[in-house]
Structure 1
Amino acid sequence: MFHRFFFCLWHLVGVLGFANEVSVRKGSSITLNSGLTEMKDDDLIKWRFGNKNMSLAEINKQTDSMTVYDDVLDGRFRDRLKLDNQTGSLTITNTTTEHTGYYKLQINSVTKYFLLTVYGEKSVSVKIGNSITLNSGFTEIMEDDLIQWKFFDDPILWWYGYEYILIAEIKKWVNSITVHDDVLNGRFRDRLKLDNQTGSLTITNITTEHAGHYKLQSKYMKIDIFFTVYDEISVMEGDSVTLNSHFTEIMDDDEFRRIREKFLDDQIHWRFLKTLIVKFNRRVDKIIVYDDVLDGRFRDRLKLDNQTGSLTITNMRTELAGDYKLKITGAKPSSITFRVSVNYSVHCCGSTEAVIRLVLSALVGVATVILLVYDIRSRRVEQDQE
């Protein structure tokens, strides 16, 4: 009962705005200032964290003692807390999302509150058809928190006033989980799993339509995740390979289609590493092939399917191995990276060289047999002599 009362009290403090709100980028350091320039000889300072009022650090000037409890809460503060012996300010280094929440500073009979928010961004990549878990960084969600996962495949549209699409959320105070997997014409249907304890989001059976920008928001944290999809392809030297765009006819709702057609060029871009090799403007039906780039290694080797956006490369060589990135903008956005490897093939050589290699291999085999027979006969002669 007391714990619940304390939780409600802390929540009320945040709502009424009594807490000093501070934010820090994930991995950086933050100092929660006590407001003192110098402590007095009889001062007692205590730092506490979270709705469980967990002790983090304290300074007792009367006994000239300073204590840091950095092993609490499964050690999330271990080797991260620094206490200023002169001012009583608390510094947290190498912050993670687990350090978000309310901090309570008690100076004798005076109490201050701090609300710390950690924000950050990261990039993840997953092979098409696989699953991935977008980690929240939490080990446990706070009891008053609201966790929301949002998605946009074209973040540029945000500048035109379009919000990210809500795909999943947790309202911890009522212990409810909602997955909005029917949005965007059902591209997430039966693919989303939300962890009620940590707020992490799992996406199964990944397709190119799931590439884009994911945003995790809570009361105490913000994380931007840039998500890309890749495929792995192996081809024999001298053969041709087609990089399938996995392009589908699934469309977003009419509103998003119209805004894309209005502001974004309907184009297909293929890049090798960072170099543009093919550009196709579907509005004017114009294809430009940059096959003279990179010392002409792609010359007369590139062919684009203007219906699907797939790219065919003929007469593959080892110098053509690497990452190929497809970017489709406009009414049907898509993005995927192909990691192409080229294996050595015997038919890359001329027929004469192949015959010579076969003859040499046969001669080596015959010589090995002769040596083996000679060795066996020599041993038999030695045995007969004995």
Structure 2
Amino acid sequence: MKIHFLLWLFLLFVNGVSGVETDVAESVSVIVGDSVTLHTGVTQIQRDDVLQWRFGEDLIARITSESGKITVLVTANEKFKDRLKLNDQTGDLKIRNIKTTDSGLYKFETTGTRGLKTFDVNGVTDTVSDGVKVVSMMERDSVVLNTGVTKIQRGDQITWRFIEKDTLVAKIDTTAGIFSTYDHILDGRFKDRLQLNHQTGSLTIINVRPNTSGHYEVNITMSGSSYTTHKTFSVIAIDGESMLSVMEGKVVTLRTNLTEIQRDDILLWRFEHGDSDIAKINPKDKIFSVFDGADGIFKDRLELDHQTGSLTISNTRTEDTGFYHLDITSSRRTILKRIILSVFHSGLSSAAATGIRVTVVAVVLLAIVAALVYCYRKAINYRPANETVDAETEACRVSGVQSDLSRVTQGYSGYQRPEIIQPRKQGTRRQSSNP
């Protein structure tokens, strides 16, 4: 009899532990302006179930299932006006555009059990976040949308969606070993234009066009957590010219298209000739600097606009002709711009200079591509083990022609890898005189 009693107590203990979750609050930190989904752990609502959510003691949402009919009720609480959404299959609660006043305890209750799950939500203030991060850029520029994750851990899940078409464009599931972009969707508009950072989950959109402009949402579920955070980005492509012509000796301004630099922005201007940094802005550290460039080519001729980050070149010279790259980096996004500048002699008209510039650029690109194709074919040809490699073929192999060919054939996509933010030759550093 004693044995049966002890067995009954043991089963009661096991059922109690496995059937009801303890009311220990799970801590949830969300940046103000972002969104969060609190998961119930319910896979499917059953007949006659009643599921409800409370904020403190106030009822804010309820789902009932009677005779197979599911009824969803979200209370008309002014505090959460139009910001709550219930999943009618699982009871998960999504809170959009988190505010500091949303901080507090959220309790999920289901039939017969109170306090089944409790979340302690804390809205963390971030002055650069306002719910939807707007990213404006010129067509053909590229952008990196940042997750805010420092390093992905095993068990983490990240998905990116193009909201306008409610379409999955990228997914990371570390447990399943999935690191995928889906660029074949939507008539191929994303073909070869999406890249995932495997360390942070950030998404790069290359060569942005009007049909890839719109809202993007990233959903982040960390390993072992019962909630998902959401960030939304509005990517806007502005029609404009990224090729400029100027008469030698005149002044030209390379524009960022920013109305005002934000405190956490970092801007870096580079000139492709000499692969050198020519200007840098870091408002947080009070850095507004211009550099002379390789061989002092820009000495005393550069000026920064401290409000917009635009770069002005005075007394232009023909050797200023070339590609100028701009990286605009912040905690939420990185914009990668490329501007082609042509400086022509005073004896040529702007139209004539433009024609010459386009012709020269086209000829140079064709020549480079032809040379790389020749090297590539020569490099991949089968070679017996005892055959001597001639110097020309070895040079092709060493130079990494596959990478170069891929980069050149992108044409004017405007894409540069995020790694270009790394320091380069700067020449002489000078503080910009612009107030």
TM-score, normalized by the shorter chain, greater than 0.5:
no
TM-score by length of structure 1 reads 0.31
Computing the radius of gyration from Cα coordinates, the structure with the larger value is 1
TM-score by length of structure 2 reads 0.28
Greater relative contact order (Cα 8 A, min sep 6): structure 1 or 2?
Answer: 2
